[in-house]
Structure 1
Amino acid sequence: RVKLYVLGGDGQWDDRGTGYVSYQFVQGNGAVEGLRVTSEADDSKDLLMTKIFEEDVFQRQGDTIVTWTNPETREDVALSFQEADGAKEIWNIICQVQSRLRKNSSEECDTENNSGNNSSGVLHNSDDFYEMSLPQPEMENLEKLQEIVSSATSVTRDRIVDGVMQDGYLAKIYQIFRTCEDLEMEQSLHTLFKIFKGLIMLNEPSLIELCLSDQNVLDTMGILEYDPEYSNHTVKHREYLKNPNLFKEAVPIKSPAILFKIHLNFRLTYLKDVVMARYIDDVSFSTIRELILLNNVEIIAQIQSDSAMLEELFELCRSPSTPKAEAKNGMNLSEKKRNGFLFLRELLEIAKPLQLPPQMAFFRSISSHGLFSILQNGVNSEDNTIVSASTDIMLCTLNHDPQLLRSYINSEEGDNLLKNLIQGLLFFQDVGLKAQITEILRCLFDSTTFGCPVERDGLLETFYLHHMDTLMSPFTSEDSFTEDGELRKECWDCARKHVVELLSFCIEHHEPRVMLYMKRHDVLHKVLKLFRQPNKHLVLAALKFLRQCVGANNSFYNRSIVKNDLFSGVVHLLKQHLYRNNLVNSAIIELFDHIRVKNMKILIKYIVEKYRQVFEHIDYVETFKLIIIKYDQ
């Protein structure tokens, strides 16, 4: 009994159904051996009919999964077996069929060439394979073992893996390594490196997991320190992995199996990205990545089912980090709380690649434990690490399902979260956090992802009635800020830039609400005062805002521009940047060209009648002369 998966274009494994796999001849003739998966629900329906390919495309992922890439269609397929014995039986059939196919191909090749010689001297292409056995793990056999591992084929791969995983085989190799290291036998250490590099490149998940187990990981990493291509450099993989500060347990993880999976994933990532980065190929990279993903599925499932652990984690994140609380607990509560937020962020990150059903179940589970209430306090924290983790978590939930956060903000207690976000955008001095909060607000109020109209109207009403005035405060407050605890001018300018970007976003998504607000509060005039600023980023933000207003082709915006002569600042900028090849010049030219192309008569009449003399003297682009011609017509 198996489940059939096919890799979709989005990189996710799509479930194609459950059925029963059998070995038989396929494709309507007796010449092609293959696999057939019959639907469990309807035995007359075939979920899969595929031949067994001679090419080395089949892989075992653990004890119950077989994957392959169809060389004809380039489709990635996976069979997940209910029982390990069933997976082993089908895998043995695949290996036997491939062996026969390769043997037949070899005999045909020998007949054509009239030659029966085999030059490899290590393994033969016929029945010699079945007689192949690994040499005893002894010092004098290292070269021979390295030659066998390095020349492994899909036919010999399983024999090598089975031999290495026999009880005591790896332990003896590790003992040889310790002896070689003690005696500084450099050549033997280089040979051991090649052996273990080859073993990892066999892409057998169970073997990789064994090499990185608690018992073996330091010896494995020690061997991989002796890369012959870096013989003059000292690599310290073991020293790095022994650092106790690498692993921080925010709350106790009681399951030894899950704790091992967490450690294993870290080691796999380190192996992939650091130790084997120069050698790893696409197949090995994919094998390790899939192993990490499978471990993540187990980690998430276990943590999701452990309500006591989640409650302890959320209680830690809610705790006040005051000196009094720390003295009571007898520990650095601030650091533990910081680790709690980082752990929560890590959980959401590893949940992102999961299939949709388990991913949705996990996000809903942690939301039910009060996720957004702790994020509300996290954004208001004095610890930048906690604030950053909180905004990361919010973005993660918004990318998964924006309705979760929107529903919370629409609730009575959720209003403070939106208030804290806007306060952070205005007053945080970290420009990265400001940008992140801006992105959160974009996702939160993106009209293209709203579901229920009632929820949309409620959220927008809350935003425009209770929070928009606060967001606009950088344009209504003329306070001068000093260094003695007050907000610095650079921080305020950065806030203005992000607010203008959000206003441009609102014009695109929130008509007519934003138009009514801008009309009541003279927003156009206030924002376009930024043209006087020496900061070019603010000038460009104001130009983009004006371009968004013009692009909306709304009579209110157009009348306001004409009535208040709001292009005076644009023309002044144009004079300053004439003949300069910069962004400000380009943005101004594009703005006028848009007005010309869209034939916005009210604006063309206004700018030509008001600034014709300026336009007539500009000859380095045709835009302004063409506007005059269009007006004259």
Structure 2
Amino acid sequence: MRVKIYELSAQSLWQDRGTGYCSCLFIDSINDYCLVVHAESDESILLSSPVMKEDQYQKQQDSLIVWSDKGSNSDLALSFQEPASCADIWDIFPIYHNWVLLECNRSYLTLRPPIYYSLRFLSPELEIWFNPSKFEMPTPSIGTLPKILDLLKQSTITQYRRDLIMAYIHRTKYLDQLIPVFETCEDLEAIDDLHILCRIMKHIILIADDAMINHIIEDDIIIPVVGMFEYDPDFPSPKVNHRAHLSDPARFKEVIPLEDPVVKKKIHFSFRLQYLKDAVLVGLSDEGICQGLNTKIFYYNMEIVVSIENNHEFLGRLVEIVKSPDEPESKKHDVVLFIQQLCFLTKSFQPGIKSNVYRALSQNGLFDVLEYAMTSDSDHIRLVACELITTILEFDRLLVRSYILAQAKQGNRPLVKILAETFTSDKSSGVQMQCFEILRVLLDVLVSGVPDAMQSALIEGVGGTSSAVAPTSQVDSETEQFVSLFYETCSNQVAKPILSLTAEQVAELHHLPAIQAQVYVLVCELLTFCIRQHSFRSRFFVLSGTVVEQLGLLLTARVKHIQLAALRFFRACVGTTDNFVIRYLIRKGILERIMVLFDQNKGRYNLLNSACLDFFEFVTLRNLKPIITHLARQYTDQLTEGITYTSVTKQLLQRFGHNMESQRLLEDRRGSGGATSNLTDGPAGWSTETIDDDEGAYFDTSDGEDNSLGDSPVSPIAPKPPATPTTHSKSKPKDKD
């Protein structure tokens, strides 16, 4: 093996120390292996460097071996003429070097010609390498604990070393031998030895395979093992009592005894693995261990859920307990909590598998249990029921909708009715919030496949469409039936907290605790969501009742987030660009209340001011003429005076001027007898080719009702002065078609 020797000088330059032939030999005088290089010319020794464990060897560019020689205190390098020669020398290192080099490959080395390894008799370490059965660990005792720990620390060097130690632990049942030593140390209160035992168990778990993990969670092993972790030297105080937690029989409560011992055993194993991962091994940051435990937990959970899912008799008995008037409430609560735990086990399942599990449970009375839980007197049980419904909706909302529609067809009280009543009457803020989220998911009719940007465009009517939701053809008939059922049976219940408000109560809202005032915000948010999602049904609900007037009262509340929620509702109503809805808002004095709110805010830098400006900006961009005309004629001074931080109000007034100019040109053309074509009036979507004077008067005058804010009547839009008489006919011209 022809090589060149290089040494790194003080100036960080590699200097040539000669050329020769390299070999790795066992030297009797030092009783160790050495790298020896004989000179090419006279066979004198150019280099004799012992292979030391402390030296860091590196293989570079397939033909270089570089290391720091402790004996000469210098950096050396061997440059081989042939890469194969470099590989031959490199392969010898891990055999002697106690497997420090991770590149070792035992199967490859045993196939190498023996000439490299039989120069002298094999050392004990090499003999173990070629004959693993000769490997032994110290017999567990208090005196040998430090040696055991040192040996386990070496197991992190190579995978082969780990396999060697783990095979010995399995073969000799080494873990079982450590348990009596632990009990002895605990009886003697030998804290230092207990700390060593804890470290030993950490190393065993770090190198443990599936078989070892299965052995650890067995009934007679798990308690002593977690007991060793109670003496963790990294967390000496307070002492965690893992054994008491796992030994507590109350941790495993059977609502109905499980007859299958295999399922019961798997439940215990899954719980122990989860506890090991979340509590006992929380200080270990080894990704391999966490991943291995998660995999085992996943498969155990899968087997448990499938077994219970297919046990129809067991599930039927659970539902009977809930329906029986003779069963105590505590046992019924246990049924609900059992269903919660069963669904919790599916959290790591794939969505399709989860959906199948929920459908199977629903066929065995899942919703009967949920209906009972929603009407329970316990806040905790109601909250659990809401969480379960939310979990089901996340993966299969059609399952819940189908069940509710089936209830309605049978004449039963639908689940959505229970949700609406709980939403408006429950005293728990958590339950209220959960019911709000459930109703919002159930009422979501936008197509899941449509991108968010497109859905936003549909909601706002961007691109000339006045539809607030996706086209009806994209919404399945079952969803349409559910939405119809909601407006027929639940819409008034959802709006009940606001419909029952009086002006005196609104004036006192700021004295209510935030939790009690939350319901008004949630109702506003849900109604806003309905306006944006549902087209004619939500608008009919708004126009046919007193919702607008009551929400207008909330604009006068002295609670900013309630005012903001009400303002968002009216912004959504305007966002429909429906002319009838817009004129209805004007007639009910909503614009007056918004202007009062805007004026009271006095340009403060807050969300309320931004929401008002957003309202004006949308009206201007979409050129909603009824609103622009009303605001410009009634509130010109308020829109101009003192507002210098934004140009939104100025643009609104400019838009009003452009509209008036267009109207004047239109009247001039009519006065001269000219035809009009391709003119657009009103909001987007209200287009016609010709407009007669009667139609123009309809859109430019009020509905004949007085709007009021306080004691001051609000004047309707001022009528235009009559146009100059002309001789053209007043009848509406025919369409060009």
TM-score (norm. length: structure 2): 0.65
* Secondary structure of 2:520's aligned partner: helix
Of stretches 138-147 and 166-175 in structure 1, the one that deviates more from structure 2 is 138-147
Distance 1:214 1:114 in 2: 46
In structure 1, the residue matched to 2:496 is 473
Deviations 1:550-599 (A, max 9, x none): 22222233222333331222222222222423222222223323333444
Deviations 1:166-207 (A, max 9, x none): 363211111111112222223322222122112222352332
Distance 1:208 1:456 in 2: 49
Q: Retained in 2: the 8 A contact 1:427–1:492?
A: no
Structure with greater Cα Rg: 2
In the TM superposition, what are the counterparts of 1:190-229 in structure 2 within 5 Å? 190-202=195-207, 204-229=209-234
Amino acid at match of 2:424: L
Q: Is 1:499 aligned to residue 523 of structure 2?
A: yes
Distance 1:410 1:530 in 2: 34
In structure 2, the residue matched to 1:347 is 342
* Structure 1 residue 373 displacement after superposition: 2.4
Distance 2:208 2:378 in 1: 43
Aligned-residue CA RMSD (Å): 2.9
Aligned pair partner of 2:590 in 552, 566, 581: 566
Distance 2:136 2:440 in 1: 61
Q: Retained in 1: the 8 A contact 2:169–2:175?
A: yes
Q: Retained in 1: the 8 A contact 2:402–2:478?
A: yes
Aligned pair partner of 1:111 in 78, 89, 94: 89
Q: Is 1:165 aligned to residue 170 of structure 2?
A: yes
Q: Retained in 1: the 8 A contact 2:603–2:643?
A: no
In the TM superposition, what are the counterparts of 1:203-602 in structure 2 within 5 Å? 204-320=209-325, 325=326, 333-356=328-351, 358-411=353-406, 412=410, 415-448=413-446, 453-478=476-501, 493-602=517-626
Distance 2:341 2:94 in 1: 58
* Secondary structure of 1:338's aligned partner: helix
Amino acid at match of 1:417: L
Q: How many residues align?
A: 513
Distance 2:324 2:206 in 1: 47
Q: For residues 302 and 159 of structure 1, do their structure 2 counterparts lie closer, same or farther at Cα, with a shift above 3 Å needed?
A: farther
Q: For residues 202 and 624 of structure 1, do their structure 2 counterparts lie closer, same or farther at Cα, with a shift above 3 Å needed?
A: farther
Q: Retained in 1: the 8 A contact 2:499–2:546?
A: no
* Structure 1 residue 514 displacement after superposition: 0.7
Of stretches 532-541 and 221-230 in structure 1, the one that deviates more from structure 2 is 532-541
Of stretches 399-408 and 159-168 in structure 1, the one that deviates more from structure 2 is 159-168
Aligned pair partner of 2:182 in 171, 177, 190: 177
Return the structure number with greater helix share.
1
Distance 1:303 1:516 in 2: 47
In structure 2, the residue matched to 1:71 is none
Distance 1:107 1:568 in 2: 93
* Structure 1 residue 431 displacement after superposition: 0.7
Q: For residues 371 and 235 of structure 1, do their structure 2 counterparts lie closer, same or farther at Cα, with a shift above 3 Å needed?
A: closer
* Secondary structure of 2:555's aligned partner: helix
Deviations 1:373-398 (A, max 9, x none): 23222211212222122212211221
Deviations 1:488-540 (A, max 9, x none): 98766332222211111111211111111111114223222211122323212
Q: Is 1:143 aligned to residue 146 of structure 2?
A: yes
Q: For residues 248 and 536 of structure 1, do their structure 2 counterparts lie closer, same or farther at Cα, with a shift above 3 Å needed?
A: farther
Q: For residues 144 and 523 of structure 1, do their structure 2 counterparts lie closer, same or farther at Cα, with a shift above 3 Å needed?
A: same
Q: For residues 572 and 109 of structure 1, do their structure 2 counterparts lie closer, same or farther at Cα, with a shift above 3 Å needed?
A: farther
Amino acid at match of 1:145: I
Q: Retained in 2: the 8 A contact 1:123–1:129?
A: no
* Secondary structure of 2:590's aligned partner: coil
Q: For residues 116 and 522 of structure 1, do their structure 2 counterparts lie closer, same or farther at Cα, with a shift above 3 Å needed?
A: closer
Q: Retained in 1: the 8 A contact 2:532–2:576?
A: yes
Q: Retained in 1: the 8 A contact 2:152–2:203?
A: yes
Distance 1:116 1:164 in 2: 24
Distance 1:203 1:511 in 2: 61
* Structure 1 residue 147 displacement after superposition: 3.2
Amino acid at match of 2:375: N
Larger relative contact order (C-alpha < 8 A, sep ≥ 6)?
A: 1
Amino acid at match of 1:437: C
TM-score (norm. length: structure 1): 0.74
Q: For residues 204 and 609 of structure 1, do their structure 2 counterparts lie closer, same or farther at Cα, with a shift above 3 Å needed?
A: farther
* Secondary structure of 1:215's aligned partner: helix
Distance 1:106 1:318 in 2: 80
Distance 1:219 1:194 in 2: 14
Q: For residues 230 and 375 of structure 1, do their structure 2 counterparts lie closer, same or farther at Cα, with a shift above 3 Å needed?
A: closer
Distance 2:100 2:224 in 1: 28
Distance 1:615 1:452 in 2: 42
Q: Retained in 2: the 8 A contact 1:296–1:350?
A: yes
* Secondary structure of 1:494's aligned partner: helix
Q: For residues 116 and 299 of structure 1, do their structure 2 counterparts lie closer, same or farther at Cα, with a shift above 3 Å needed?
A: closer
In structure 2, the residue matched to 1:188 is 193
Q: Retained in 2: the 8 A contact 1:146–1:194?
A: yes
In structure 2, the residue matched to 1:80 is none
Gaps of at least 5 residues in structure 1 are 1-104, 327-332, 482-487
Aligned pair partner of 2:653 in 613, 628, 633: 628
Distance 1:158 1:282 in 2: 19
Distance 1:570 1:129 in 2: 85
In structure 2, the residue matched to 1:16 is none
* Structure 1 residue 134 displacement after superposition: 4.4
